[in-house]
Amino acid sequence: MPDRGAPGGQGDPLARLPHTGAARLPSRVLRLDPGRAVTAERCLAAGDPCLNGDGFLPSVLVVELMAQAGGLLMEQEPGGSAGVLAGVRRLHLHAAPGAGDTVTVECRLERRLGELYLLSCDARSGTRALAHGRIHLRRTRRARA
């Protein structure tokens, strides 16, 4: 069974993300099948700093949520590396989530070619489809101090 670790613990996959604090969008990993698929979620409470003035999560942050979750499918390298969102294709936005919604994103790795990763992603809140599309992540060397 895929190990997702305790939230916030050393085994928590989210600890691998370079994003911290408010910049880290997923709040929990529900399932991680390394190199194949990942499911993560974010609970949107009233007053969530990611909500816009109208109380909705902007679509660009839905994509960023996909990208951060999808980044967990990249292999870890000894020298350290990070993934950046390189492209978005065929993105369909169906609905905007708001306070009280739990946004669940599922990303499946379709193909890796060199430093580029192609992922198919879906976002939903319960049974309500929010968005789906393909994103591209590029592995980059992480700058070391």
Partner 1 sequence: MDAHPPSDPSLKREIKELIVTQLRLKDVTPDGIRDDESLVQGSLSLDSIDFLELTVAMERRYGVKISDADEVQAIFASVDSIARHIARHRAQSARA
Residue labelled with tokens 């529900």: 30
**Ramachandran category for residue 62: left, alpha or beta (phi over 0 → left; psi -120 to 50 → alpha):** alpha
Decide if residue 132 touches partner 1 (CB under 8 A): no
* By the rule CB under 8 A, 118 interacts with partner 1: yes
Q: Residue type at 55? A: G
Q: Which is nearer to partner 1, 30 or 88 (CB)?
A: 88
Kindly state the smallest distance separating residue 88's Cβ from partner 1, in Å.
10
Binding mask 44-83 for partner 1 (x = CB under 8 A): ----------------------------------------
Size of the site for partner 1 (CB under 8 A): 13
Nearer to partner 1, 40 or 135 (CB): 135
Q: CA dist 45 to 8, 16, 50, 56, 107, Å? A: 19, 24, 10, 11, 23
Output DSSP code: residue 18.
Answer: S
